[in-house]
Structures are given as C-alpha cells and as structure tokens.
Amino acid sequence: MPLVAHNNLPSFNRLRGEGIRVLAPDFALHQDIRELHIGLLNMMPDAALAATERQFFRLIGESNPIAQFYVHPFTLPEIERGKNAQKHVDEYYQTFDQIREQGLDALIITGANVIGPDLSNQSFWQPLIEVVDWAYENVTSTLCSCLATHAVLEFRYGQKRIPQPDKKWGVFPHQIVDNTHPLVVDINTRFDVPHSRWNAVTLEQFQVAGLRVLAELDDGCVHLATSPDGFRTVFFQGHPEYDTISLLKEYKREAVLYAKGERKDYPPFPENYFGVFEKAVLNEYRLRLDEAMSSGSELPELPEDLIVPRLNNTWRDTAGEVVGNWMGLIYQITNSDRRLQFMDGVDPDDPLGLR
C-alpha cells in the first residue's frame, strides 16, 4: 500500500531514504488503485512528534499494496508546543475541522505524555473525547495506541487504568488467544511487542467492558483487543510502531535526567532488549557518569555507536502484518464514498461474522 506524498511533510523524504515506496501526487492520480485516507492524531510531545509520524507512516506504507494511502496528521491545539514543533504543526498538519470536513476511512490515535495519574485532568481530555466520538460515528475504524487506549477505556467503557508498582518497559512476548479474527490471520501465534508504561488496563477490565481480546503478554496483560463488533475500535496497549532504537532513546533520556538530578535512581535496563555486550558497555558508561558527577567534570556521552548496530528488532514484521490486516479490513468493508458497505445476507451489526 504505497504512501502518497500529498504535501511537503519532511517525513516523506526520510521514509523514501529508508526504501519505502512513496508516490508523488501527480503519479498517484494515474494509478488505477483506490485511495484510503487515514488520519493520524499525533498527541506525542515535541521531541517525539516527527519520529512518531514516521513510525506510523512506515507501518502503513509497508502494508499489502492494495490501495494508495493519504495519511493526514493533525494534533490538538490544547497540547502546548514549543516554537519549532508549533511551526512544524502549522506548516504540515491539518486542523480537526479540516479533517471532519474531508472525512476519513480510518483514524490512528497516538499516545501522549501526561502529568499525574488522572487522565481526566489533562488538557487533551475533552478534545480527545470529541475526536473519538466523531470518529465512532463517521470513521470505519479507529486504532488507539497505548495511552489513547487507556483514555478510551475510561471515558467510553468506564474502566480506569491502574498504576503499576514498576514500569512495564522492554520487549515482551505475546500469545494470540483468539485466532479467528481477521486482524490476526496468518500472523505468528507468538510475537514480540515493546511496552513503555507505568499504568495498565487489566484483562479483567477488558472483559468487563465486553471487548474482544486477541493477544496477551505471557503475564496475562492485554496488548491487542477490539470493540465488540470486531472493527469499530482497535486497541494497542503496547508500541508495535517503535523503531529498533526507540527504547535506547528512552533509556538515554532517563540517564540524562539522572545526570541532571531530575531522577534519583539510575534507570534499569529495558527487559529483553539489550544483550550481554550492550549491558557491559552501558554499565561502564554508568561508572564513568557517576565518576564525572562526583568530580564535577564533563559528563560522558552515551556510546550509542557501539550499541545501535547490535540491537535486534523482533516485532516489526508482526506489527506490519497486523496493520496490513487492519487496512485490508477497512478496504473490504468501506466503499469509495467512505461508507460501510454490506453484501446481501451480511448483518450490518456483525459484518465480520464474528458473533
């Protein structure tokens, strides 16, 4: 499913450099392939804004080539931005009013950084509810990532996320628990997904909400689920969109906070991510960092160049298959006017035949 560079967003050129097929709009017009218009509500903070764009654009662009994808990023004006990030948004993003006017076939909602445990106190809370409610009535399917999943579970299903004693941080194995759903057709029955969160919505909460759980971690924590109809809302609790280096970047940010005195303890290693060599390099870095902090000398740089080449990505293939299945599902049940289409004998309340 090739992406279409319908504006000058810099992420398109970055993705071209990675070998991902990105069509020029003039070329796309001459292709006899149906379009799908995907909204990306990017709520991530400034430092991760562009990287998050590329991560989700990449997942979409590497899907099965049965459509042309126009991805429309937008954000919420209530989220405070720095000067450079706001310039990026003003130049390359659309407004929610524009998104509503043009319509979408599908919507992806990213996570966000929050202050404090209560989501309902966040600046994005009411605007996010407005977007989700609009999408539920006007968009074929919405995919919620991590914190967006927690928010929707709270305001639509009354299930409030639960703070965890330790951060769920690393790359974790998952098991398919419902292999009859189109989202998980032909994917590995066991697969990895990165997680990075202090809070969780439990299996019991998903079940009480009447949601359809498709994949769990080995400890029973839910990663992938859908709304009862099987397609209107898709929930990710992990981060299958992450780049290979994303957890390393998070580790580096935490180490910098420690060096600045903004974190009391040195960060632990993300689980199942660094190998023996990488851990040895980082342990040596910590010793040099502590010595520099004690002596007041210049702080050492984290040796990323020694670590990045040795990192493994064990989740991208399955992530691409799930998103590809999602896109194929949207393509099948949505017509060219962005309305649900049903064949004779198909129940409009259960178009996938899952009940």
Contacts of residue 248, Cβ cutoff 8 Å, sequence gap at least 6: 273, 304, 307, 308, 311
CA atoms within 13 A on the CB side of 157: 22
Beta carbons within 10 angstroms of residue 197's beta carbon: 18
**For residues 332, 335, 338 and 340, what is the CA-based torsion angle, rounded to 10 degrees?**
-70
Do the Cβ atoms of 112 and 147 come closer than 8 Å? Answer: yes
Give the single-character DSSP code of 31: S
Catalytic site residue from 195, 239, 254, 321: 239
Q: Is 35 known to be catalytic?
A: no
Catalytic site residue from 53, 241, 254, 278: 241
Please give the Cα distance from 341 to 277 (Å, whole number): 54
Please give the Cα distance from 315 to 8 (Å, whole number): 30
Give the single-character DSSP code of 115: S
**Chain centroid offset of residue 107 CA:** 12
- Look at residues 21, 3, 22, 80 and name the one whose alpha carbon lies nearest to residue 46: 80
Catalytic site residue from 53, 62, 146, 278: 146
Task: Determine the angle formed by the axes of helices 316-333 and 46-61, rounding to 10 degrees.
Answer: 70
Q: Is 241 known to be catalytic?
A: yes
User: How buried is 71 (Cβ within 10 angstroms: 0-12 exposed, 13-18 middle, 19+ buried)?
Assistant: buried
Q: Is 146 known to be catalytic?
A: yes
Beta carbons within 10 angstroms of residue 189's beta carbon: 11
Beta carbons within 10 angstroms of residue 329's beta carbon: 22
Do the Cβ atoms of 100 and 134 come closer than 8 Å? Answer: yes
- Look at residues 4, 1, 6 and name the one whose alpha carbon lies nearest to residue 67: 1
Active-site residues, by number, are: 146, 239, 241
